[in-house]
Structures are given as C-alpha cells and as structure tokens.
Structure 1
Amino acid sequence: MCIALIATSHPKYALIVLDNRDEYVLRPTSRPSWWTHAESGHSVLSAVDLHRREHGTWMGITKQGRLAVLTNYRETNCNDPEHPINGVKSRGGMVTAWLGAPDEQDLQDFVIKMLEGRMVKGVGGFSLICGDLKRKGKKEIEPLAIISNRSEGLDSVPWIGGERDKVWGLSNTVYTEPATWKKVKLGKQLLEEAIRKAVEKDLDEDELTEALYSVLDTDTLPLKPGMKFEEFLDALQESIFVPAMDDETKSQEWRTTAESKKMKVAFNAIEDESCETIQHAGLEAPVMFDTGPYGTQRQTIILVDWEGNVTYKERALWDADGNSIERGKGDMTFKFAVDE
C-alpha cells in the first residue's frame, strides 16, 4: 500500500513530495529517465511500469512542471462492476494522461474531462494527485487536485498544496482531512518534524533528503508469527515502510516463475534504463507478477524550490532478480529547471 506525502512547510521549497511504492518486488519496472510523450512531445521524467500494456507510471514530472502521483484504492467488493478490483485499463495511464495532456488544457479542464468523460472508469481503484508547478505569486503555487474513481464531480475533488506551512498525506483509500489511516497520520507528523528540524539546523539539500528518506523508512508494521498474506495486507495501513513479506505458497509460485525463460525476458527489460526505448519497443511482461515477496519497492523524493529548480531522487530497494539493495546503492538523482 503506497503512501504519498506533500509539504509546503519548508521556506526554501515551494513543494516537497515523498512517495513509497509498495508492490510485488519482481514487478517489472524501469529506472527513472527522461522520455518523450509521443502525442504531446512533453519531456517526462519517470520510471515506467513494464507489466501493463500502457507502460504507465505511479509518479512523474515534466520539463514544463506538470506533476502527478498515483496511489491505488484497495477495492474489496468483487461484485461492484463500477469499481473493479483489477481494471481493463492501467492505473498508470492516469498519470501519463496528465503529464501528456495538451499545453492548452489547464488542470480544471483536465479534471472535468477525466470525470465527465468517464476516463476514470474501467481502471482499478485509484487516487491521482496532479497539478502544475506554476507560481501564483512570489510565495504561492497553484494547488494540486486529487482525482479519484470515487469522485462524483468537480465539487467533490479535493485541492491541496496551495497553502503554505501545511502537510498532506494520501494512501490506498479516499483522501480525507483529517487523515484516518495510522500510516498517513504518522507520515504527516514525521514529515512536519523532519522539515522543522531541517530548518532549525539549516540542513543542506543532501542532509534534508536523508532526513526525508528516514521518514519513508519508518516501519511500524504489526507483524505476528504465522501471519497470513491477507492479514499482512490488512495491516499495511499502519506502516509507512513495508518490509518484504511472503508466504510459502506464493514463494513456491515465484520460484517456479523465476526459473522460466519468460521471467528472464522481463528482467532484461527492467535493466534497460531508456524509458523512451521501453515505451516504443512493444515490451510486455508475459507472466503475472502477483507472486513472491511484496513490500516497499521504490522510494522517491521531489524537491521544487522557488526558482523552479527541481531535484528528483529515486531509491531502488530491490534489483531485477529480487535481491535487496543496500540503502543508497540504488539511488538515482536528476536535477533540472522547470521551463517557464
């Protein structure tokens, strides 16, 4: 169960975004890189999900300053055709829909198109935080929208990020303020404390990001001896970080799959770090990856200062063969300035 945390409480940064992607650790996923959106021509920085045909993503940012972050909504009702557990369309396509939207389409128009055009139908449950990092004034930025497949219209869409000295959080449920899930409440509290201490100690950017990674590493998962996988999933709403969990049945399925040639093809796809190449090479994961260990797979931090300078950091915690990576050894950093 992923978590996204957003803050406007650091005086140097217009926006700070933190994200943990919780997933089956072997789900084929590229490393982040720049790629060109085929229709709009926008330069996009993101990792790419290689498992679904759409090759979408869970978060990304464009050179023009468009930002999007996705969290899943955990559907549990198998008999609700309006809200399928597994949609025919990829949730990751919601992210690239905003990142690749035409230049003339503003955020409100996009939200209306998504809701009234039924673009949110046919996908699994999701919440999409999206917006444009344009400044409204010297110390203000445009707010971000949170679109959900539970949104009934524009009036029901929450807007966040437009106020200073605030922290917001979202996980695999509908956005509410105040937050109801323990991991979201804790995440907001820890992020607020980390930023306050960073300001008091005048930490530089590297020191700040390490403090933010510590927030994302907070593990309060109530594991119990003999816990079944479904019980583990139910407990995920309590912990920001999710240590990899497996059970013997799924582990055997994973070992069987990992020995196949098909799995090796998918692994090779992960190792290609050119998202543009991946998107246009027709690569698809030929097997299901809902087997094997599940936990926090990637951690991402985005810092945007008042001059439009962006720092994008992604930390990979697992390699393509399912081996854990020492903290910091799987880090990638990108820096760029948003085009005005």
Structure 2
Amino acid sequence: MCLIVVGWQAHPDYPLVVAANRDEFLARPAVPAHWWTDAPDLLAGRDLEAGGTWMGVGRNGRFAALTNYRDPTLHRPGAPSRGTLVRDCLTGSDDATACLRAVAEVSAQYAAFNLLVSDGRQLGIHESTTGSVRLLEPGIYGLSNHVLDTPWPKVKRARERFAVALGRLPDADAFLELLRDDEPAPDHHLPETGVSEEWERWLSPAFIRAPGYGTRCSTLILQDQGGNVTFREWTWNDRGECASEVVHRFVVAAGD
C-alpha cells in the first residue's frame, strides 16, 4: 500500500476501519482480494510476481498492511519481497507485539518499509527505518511512504476526510471519495524524498496516475462490534477507471 488511514477504536460501533490505496507499477501482475486456496483463512489480494500481499485480513480478526518507505538511497537490489511479511503476520498466531518484534529482527534484510499489524485486540506498527515497534492507542492514523503520521499533504487531507467519513457510517461513500482524491499538492508543500520534483508532484495525491505507475486498487475494511467484517475493493485500470469490484463479508471466528 502507499496510503493507509486506520481508525482504531475511534468509532463506538466500528473498532476497526481501514481505507487504503495500493500504488504500484502498472505492469506488475496481481489479482484482487480473495480467499487464498493455500491459506484458506486469509483474505487478501495477491502479487503474482513474488507471491505475497500488501494488505489483508484473517477469519480470526487479524489485520496487516505494509507501505514502502520512499528513499532511493535505501534501495536494496535483490532483497526478498516485503509482501511475504504481511502474509506471515496474517497466517501466524503471535500477538501483535510479538509478531512485530519478530519482523523487526529481520527487517534489515528488506528494502525499507512500515508494517501495521493487529491481532484483533491490539494494533501496532514497526518502522524499519527507525527500528521501532510500538502499540497504538485508539485514534485515527495516516501512513504513506514515510513514518507514521508524517504530515505530507495527502496524509493530512486523507486523515481529515476520514474523520468526517467515520461520522457518516454506516454510509461508506465518503471513504471512496477520499481514496479517489487526485488533487496534487502545491509545489511548495511537496515532500523531498529523493525523487525528481516531477515525480513528487505525480505521487502527491491520494489517487495517483503517473507514467507506468499509479493507484492499482482501493480498499475499505469495516469491522463492527459484533465481529462482522466487510472487505470492499475496487481495482482501477491504467486510465483510473474501475475495472472490477469485489465485496467479501464474514464474521470473525468465535473464540479467536
């Protein structure tokens, strides 16, 4: 993912709400969210190049998602796929803290990233660039291609719009609107991440369209107090038009 906004215990009826965009090279093959045949309790999209995923949920109420950290100087040619970290956290049984600590022990082997993990009771994050592992208090959090809640224009704007959208639940249309926001940041507010100013401009909206690269899918996850989960995902073509939509609903397995 390249933009994730999470409402963690920030709504009285929905303890987990996630709105996220996955940005990727348009030529990289992937399939929309589905229940994996080789991991039947895992619901996630799948990267067909490396076999992992960028975000998913489990029948037991687990959630995990990853963003890359944008800094060309930290590029690691030949590093293993970070998508396997998300998969392993979703299929494992450790609590959020133990899972993230285990990832932190090996994160130097990977290109820089941020990983959010919830075991259904706690939500935590590991930032590979800082080495930190910490649990998050109830609230609304924004994550893009830097550390948590870095005040990039699109992160600030998405968090603000997310807070408004929370107040409109169960109507969820406002979440898709914030994920489809393609307004670039003013040049004087562009971050400096080591890419050209032209690319900073292309990458500055929530919804990205750039040469050979862009927002491939948008996802909304809603989990209510009864454990009812709705996982809704839109896949976008190279023109930014909806190519497909999938909706999965399930109830978190009792006793997990």
Same fold (TM over 0.5): yes
Match of 1:245 among 187, 207, 210: 210
Structure with bigger helix share is 1
The CA distance in 1 between the partners of 2:71 and 2:148, in whole Å, is 15
Mapped pair 1:316 → 2:230: no
Using structure 1 for the length normalisation, give the TM-score. Answer: 0.67
Mapped pair 1:106 → 2:95: yes
CA RMSD of aligned residues (A): 2.2
Match of 1:214 among 166, 169, 177: 177
The CA distance in 2 between the partners of 1:92 and 1:63, in whole Å, is 19
Aligned residue for 1:61, secondary structure, equals strand
Give the corresponding residue for 1:302.
221
Give the number of aligned pairs: 246
Q: Does the 8 A contact of 1:30 with 1:47 survive in 2?
A: yes
Match of 1:331 among 245, 248, 251: 245
Quote the offset at 1:26 in angstroms.
2.4
Mapped pair 1:71 → 2:67: yes
Give the corresponding residue for 2:159.
188
Quote the offset at 1:43 in angstroms.
1.0
After superposition, give the CA deviation of every residue in 1:20-47 in whole Å (9 maximum; x if it has no partner): 011122210012110155xxx5610011
Pick the structure with greater CA Rg: 1
Structure with bigger strand share is 2
Give the corresponding residue for 2:43.
45
Quote the offset at 1:50 in angstroms.
0.9
Matching of residues 92-241 of structure 1 within 5 Å = 92-101=83-92, 103=93, 105-116=94-105, 118=106, 120-133=107-120, 142-152=121-131, 156-160=132-136, 162-163=137-138, 166-176=139-149, 179-196=150-167, 198=168, 205=170, 208-222=171-185, 230-236=196-202, 238-241=204-207
Give the corresponding residue for 2:80.
89
Any unmatched runs of 5+ in structure 1? 78-82, 134-141, 200-204, 247-292
Aligned residue for 2:21, secondary structure, equals strand
The CA distance in 2 between the partners of 1:230 and 1:316, in whole Å, is 28
Quote the offset at 1:158 in angstroms.
3.3
The CA distance in 1 between the partners of 2:220 and 2:200, in whole Å, is 26
The CA distance in 1 between the partners of 2:240 and 2:148, in whole Å, is 32
Counterpart AA for 1:157: V
Quote the offset at 1:85 in angstroms.
4.0
Identity over aligned residues, as a percent? 31
Cα 1:16–1:86 change in 2 (3 A) is farther
The CA distance in 1 between the partners of 2:162 and 2:104, in whole Å, is 31
The CA distance in 1 between the partners of 2:130 and 2:40, in whole Å, is 27
Cα 1:61–1:75 change in 2 (3 A) is same
Any unmatched runs of 5+ in structure 2? 188-194
Q: Does the 8 A contact of 2:104 with 2:133 survive in 1?
A: no
Cα 1:317–1:245 change in 2 (3 A) is same
Quote the offset at 1:300 in angstroms.
0.3
The CA distance in 2 between the partners of 1:95 and 1:35, in whole Å, is 14
Aligned residue for 2:183, secondary structure, equals coil
The CA distance in 1 between the partners of 2:229 and 2:144, in whole Å, is 24
Aligned residue for 2:46, secondary structure, equals coil
Using structure 2 for the length normalisation, give the TM-score. Answer: 0.87
